[in-house]
Amino acid sequence: MVQCSVCRREYPREHLTGCSECGDLFCTICMDKDETMEALGICSDCEEVHGAEEELE
């Protein structure tokens, strides 16, 4: 069993989706609440970092 990075509930690994950048794991409930994770496969935190990096370029 593995914990969701957001709600900390435990699920079998195959029931969680990982952020392609940082590797944080999301259950389907928390992933549905994070539009960036659902649409792009990266969590909101990583999306903010990428947005900041793009602004600097």
d(CA 57, CA 10): 40
Question: What global pTM score does this model have?
Answer: 0.76
Cβ partners under 8 Å of residue 56, min gap 6: none
Q: Which of 1-5, 28-32, 38-42, 52-56 has the lowest mean pLDDT?
A: 52-56
pLDDT for residue 2:
96
The confidence band for 51, taking pLDDT boundaries of 50, 70 and 90, is: low
Long-range pairs, 45-48, Cβ under 8 A, ≥24: 46/19, 46/21, 46/22
Q: What letter does residue 23 receive in the DSSP assignment? A: -
Give me 4's structure tokens.
């969701």
